[in-house]
Amino acid sequence: MRTFCVAIGIATAVAWSSPLLAASIPPPGAAACSGCHAAGAVAASPISRLYGRDAGDIMTAMTGFRDGSLPGTVMTRIAKGFSDDELRAIAAWLAAQK
Amino acid sequence: MGINHRMSRREFVGAGAAAVTALAFPLPAFAQAAARVVVIGGGFGGASCARALKQIEPKLQVTLVEPNRTFTACPFSNNVIAGLRSLEEQQFGYDKIAAGGVTVVAQAATAVDAKARTVGLADGTSLAYDRLVLSPGVDLRFEALPGYDEAAAAKMPHAWKAGEQTLLLRKQLEAMDDGGLVVIAAPANPFRCPPGPYERACLIAHYLKTKKPRSKLIILDAKDTFSKQRLFQNAWKELYPGMIEWVSLSQGGKVNSVDPATNTLITDFGNHTAQVANVIPPQRAGRIATIAGATDNTGWCAIDPLTFESKSAPNIHVIGDACIAGSMPKSAFSANSQAKACASAVATLIAGRAPEAPKLINTCYSLAAPGYGFSVAGVYQPKNGLFADVEGAGGVSPADVPRDFRAREADYAQSWFATITAEVFG
């Protein structure tokens, strides 16, 4: 009987838990941004904060860096590593962060 | 309960409670509530990972095992050596990480039983885990360089782990007479912070040029090429003409042994007796990785790049300098980037799902002088079991740019340090 209960417990817990994590898992590449672009408030950083920014603005900047129309130092090199779909997912996730 | 899966009493109680909870009130996340993740190593990799795990799934029981109560960061420690920064500015504590719900255990991990899934601590207690993350950084391979050991390092500092060694090298430079010879011995790949020895040469030269201008610096190298080579060599010519000499492997730069009694570095082509000798020895993954069965015959840890799980030790993930990450360099940025992707993978695996392939970024700044910086960047994705460069992306700062570009990158370097240390420890 005990064994039976445990088996149900495991099955139920797994079944119910599988679709949900408390916070959204960032799309590939997104979590790396906060190494330079502060997630929290950092005083007087010359590097823009991206959390909560408009997704369209982030997308415009990244595609600009990627095609060279927007000058930069390191972002011009990093943006070239991402497709439109990847950038859209990253921009949407960053925009949704507080 | 089959033969294959023996539950501990704790798991049994947990699962029983899950049955009751799930039937009475079907809250979804119980599986995670029971899951325990232990992270060993409180540097840029481990501390980032512990925090990220807790942020992704607050119900995880996350324990960070780190014997030091203060972390001393290596990035920017070359500035300390050059007298441009205090060691205190490199130091961070774990209080905020603990306040965020991570259990911080100030003990050394001395044993890992991958089968029983337990970590043994120096005080004789142990921690059980469902998944273990190792971020042990590097150990110095003293045995790989005849004549060099911990006693020799008190005379010929490596300063490749920030702290007392950093201050020792600083003091030796301060005590040196004008006209003295500084020698840096740089190791073969792979090692922590590939541009580090060359940035160090720049910043020591900056100090010498300012205070002891008749002095010289020689880099004895076990390699024929190095990170950001053209940018460094241009900066040496531009900023420190005649002061820095680089001796490559093929020119006889490999140091075969050292004699700490006379401060001499011995190569196939001759001896160099230095007033200040900075010996950076070969390295390998921190020892706990070997104890856990996660290192291969290279001394580093082979991983599945999708999950960072060890190829030899199940349920053990390895991040940071200790792991074999293909094209990704061993840097604080890489460790932090890997840590967050590893946290996502671990939380996803615990939730019973398959993790998505990660995409990682690295950016490493080097300073050739105050206000003169440049960078290397890369974007990486799993390919053939390793992290490979995304083609067409990444690379180093341009060679021919005005000084204000270098000044901006120097600013960004400072800003990066402030941001990443705030993310990890603040």
Assess whether pLDDT exceeds 80 at residue B33. no
B313: its two tokens: 């030790």
Arithmetic mean of pLDDT over chain B: 93
C-alpha closest to that of B281 among B368, B166, B182, B197: B197
List of chain A residues whose C-beta atoms are within 8 Å of the C-beta of residue B361:
29, 32-33, 35, 78, 81
Q: Does residue B195 have a cis bond before it (omega within 30 degrees)?
A: no
Put simply, whether B394 touches A (Cβ < 8 Å) is yes
Give percent of chain B with pLDDT exceeding 70: 92
Assess whether pLDDT exceeds 70 at residue B29. no
Under 8 Å CB pairs connecting chains A and B tally to 183
Token pair 């905020």 in the structure block, residue: B96
B391-421: pLDDT as tens digits:
999 999 999 999 999 999 999 999 999 999 9
pTM of the predicted protein model? 0.90
pLDDT at A24: 80
The residue among B46 and A13 whose pLDDT is bigger is: B46
List of chain B residues whose C-beta atoms are within 8 Å of the C-beta of residue A74:
363, 375, 377, 397, 409, 412
C-alpha closest to that of B153 among B247, B249, B141: B141
The answer to whether B126 and B102 are in contact (CB under 8 A) is: no
Residue in chain B lying closest to A65 (CA): B393
Residues 6+ apart with CB under 8 A from B73: B44, B90, B91, B92, B162, B332, B417, B421
**Is residue B77 helix, strand or coil?**
helix
The answer to whether B233 and B197 are in contact (CB under 8 A) is: no
A84: its two tokens: 């439109």
Selecting from B347, B392, B419 the residue whose C-beta is nearest the C-beta of A36 gives B419
Q: What is the dihedral of CA B183, B187, B192, B194, to 10 degrees?
A: 80
**Mean pLDDT, residues B4-13:** 40
Selecting from A2, A22, A81 the residue whose C-beta is nearest the C-beta of B59 gives A22
Region class of B163: left (phi > 0), else alpha (psi between -120 and 50), else beta:
left
The answer to whether B289 and B134 are in contact (CB under 8 A) is: yes
- Between CA B196 and CA B206, with CA B201 as vertex, the angle to 5 degrees is 125
Query: What does DSSP assign to residue B64?
Result: E
The answer to whether B302 and B386 are in contact (CB under 8 A) is: no
User: How far is the C-alpha of B88 from the C-alpha of B165, rounded, in Å?
Assistant: 14
Alpha-carbon A62 to chain mean position: 14
Assess whether pLDDT exceeds 50 at residue A7. no
**Amino acid identity at B34:** A
Whether this model's ipTM surpasses 0.95 comes out as no
The answer to whether B104 and B288 are in contact (CB under 8 A) is: no
User: How far is the C-alpha of A9 from the C-alpha of A4, rounded, in Å?
Assistant: 9
Assess whether pLDDT exceeds 70 at residue B299. yes
